[in-house]
Amino acid sequence: MQHKYREALDGLQHNTQPVYGTTEPVLIEGGYYNGIWLECGPLEALIYGRYAPEVALASHRIFFRNQRQDGYIPCTLLADRMLTGQIQSVVPIAATALETALLTGDEGFLEEAYAACSRWDQWLAANRDSRGVSLTEAFCEYDTGHDNSPRFAGLPKQCPDARPELCPDAAGLPYLAPDLSATLYGGRVALSTIADRLNRRAESEEWAAKAEHTRRSLMAYCFDPEEMMFYDLTRDNRWLRIRGDVLTRVLGERVVEQSLFEHIFERHIANPDSYWTPYPLPSIAIDDPRFDHHLPENSWGGPSQALTALRAPRWLEHYRKPSHLAHLMKQWLSALTASSDFKQQLNPWTGVFIASSNHQYSPAMCIVIDFVRRLYGVAREQDRVYWSHAPNREGVTRYYAEQIGGCGLAELDYHAERGSSLRLDGAELLRVTGTCRIVTDVQGRPLAVQSFSLHDESITIVYPDGREQRWRLAANEERALTD
């Protein structure tokens, strides 16, 4: 694990390179993707930003500084040119920009991001909402980054003349796209938060109202309540009934409320005959007739994709499914440590990476550094600190330490027989046995214990004064820790 972690950091450093329009190094996608994509580059740079904050900032600014006068943000910047044939937006850049500003403490960057992302939202509203319903339309295959997916079978890959405001004259297009619309929603939520932090209260309220309008429209036009599924709505108002990772992208922006999520989760995501394969999550549900069992290279038609796994914490944490997230992370780390390289996609049953799939792939490297931290280390998220006690092999000892801003040196010392010791700036907070995750505030005060296993687990917590607490936790269960 340590070796793979070091390999990932070295690979990310190697993939930090200048591209068109800048001399500042940015995090490129890697392998035969010699550039940075709006779809994924900002999120990857944010994750790598814990080691290289300047790269996280530069990997956002490269898009802002190449933004057109009309507000369009280029979809891709290669080493020698800029591409404009689609929008290719998945995780909203406004959301990753907000998190990057919080990570780096750069308030000036917030102003820059707010101006650019506001203009980007205006471009989308003017050019990708021909029905006037506050959603975003897909014009081509590359708009959503779904290369070789049955979702766009037989349709153009790019917009005519590389002009993203032009919709090809092709059957069914434009689609009212659930994932692109969820990205619009998530961007507006982020813009509302940014405006509030910039003391622009009225604008914050306007963005919140726009976001809610988009959310309601998304549920009205693209959600089938009987099948509990989100579908593209074609030009002639037919749902394109393909069950793919569009669902997880919508969940990634937290569009649905918790009660509805539980129904969707049990019916689809946690279903081993649909999305919850041994190595989650396939790009097309395995019980969908369009699933491609050949598992070809660069295909969103079946294989489990590293990008989908990398985005999973954004929604599994929000919807309080830590046990399922822990399982997904373990499976992907297991597959990556068994592989000699960092590749793009794997077989959802065996965990074997597709032999010809892209290598030295930054998202796979980001999985290693992010999942190790979340699964075996200490992670701060806003005003909470998460201490993960997740044994990986019998008899293994493990030590993790990280200097956490506002907290101090956080140390998690695991021994197979004695369990874990949690220390903050040298002072022991707790000793823990059993697979779980402890939640504290930034001062180290224990707040909760969470299940981190899909099976029932016996948990023991020992305080510095010798007091003990014991529980039996079911999957995803959380218990408050009180004085």
Kindly list the domain boundaries of the chain, sorted by start residue.
Answer: 16-281, 384-480
Give every strand in the sheet of 35-37, ordered side by side. 35-37, 76-78, 82-83
d(CA 373, CA 410): 12
Residue 210: pLDDT band by 50, 70, 90 thresholds?
A: very high
d(CA 42, CA 100): 9
Block residue for tokens 């007739």: 289
The DSSP H or E segment spanning 58 is helix 53-65
Backbone CA torsion sign across 49, 54, 57, 63: negative
Mean pLDDT of 54-66: 97
- Beta-carbon count within 10 A of 383 CB: 9
* Statement: residue 357 has pLDDT above 70: no
Query: Token pair for residue 282?
Result: 């396939």
**Inter-residue contact 75 to 142 (CB < 8 Å):** yes
pLDDT for res 110: 97
pLDDT in tens, 165-206: 999 999 999 999 999 999 999 999 999 999 999 999 999 999
Q: Which comes out higher in pLDDT, residue 1 or 219?
A: 219
Domain spanning 16-281, CATH class: mainly alpha
Q: Which comes out higher in pLDDT, residue 418 or 429?
A: 429
d(CA 427, CA 465): 13
pLDDT for res 192: 98
Residue 394: pLDDT band by 50, 70, 90 thresholds?
A: low
* Statement: residue 446 has pLDDT above 60: yes
**Inter-residue contact 292 to 257 (CB < 8 Å):** no
* Statement: residue 162 has pLDDT above 70: yes
* Statement: residue 121 has pLDDT above 60: yes
Mean pLDDT of 298-325: 97
Query: Token pair for residue 289?
Result: 């007739």
Alpha helices in 313-361 (DSSP H): 313-316, 322-338
* Statement: residue 388 has pLDDT above 70: yes
Query: Token pair for residue 475?
Result: 């999957």
pLDDT for res 390: 82
Average pLDDT, the chain: 95
pLDDT for res 230: 98
Task: Out of 56-65, 352-361, 375-384, give the one with best mean pLDDT.
Answer: 56-65
Residue 449: pLDDT band by 50, 70, 90 thresholds?
A: very high
Residue 392: pLDDT band by 50, 70, 90 thresholds?
A: low
* Statement: residue 291 has pLDDT above 90: yes
Backbone angles phi, psi at 276, to 5 degrees: -90, 70
pLDDT for res 428: 96
* Statement: residue 483 has pLDDT above 60: no
**Inter-residue contact 244 to 283 (CB < 8 Å):** yes
Mean pLDDT of 18-26: 93
Please list, residue by residue across 347-374, b when 16 or more beta carbons sit within 10 angstroms of its beta carbon and e when fewer do: bbeebebbeebbbbbbbbbbbbbbbbbb
Task: List all residues 6 or more positions away from 3 whose beta carbon is below 8 Å from its beta carbon.
Answer: none
Residue 315: pLDDT band by 50, 70, 90 thresholds?
A: very high
d(CA 105, CA 110): 9
Residue 419: pLDDT band by 50, 70, 90 thresholds?
A: confident
Residue 404: pLDDT band by 50, 70, 90 thresholds?
A: confident
pLDDT for res 417: 78
Residue closest to 449 by CA, chosen among 413, 420, 406, 409 = 420
d(CA 399, CA 420): 9
pTM, entire model: 0.96
Task: List all residues 6 or more positions away from 200 whose beta carbon is below 8 Å from its beta carbon.
Answer: none
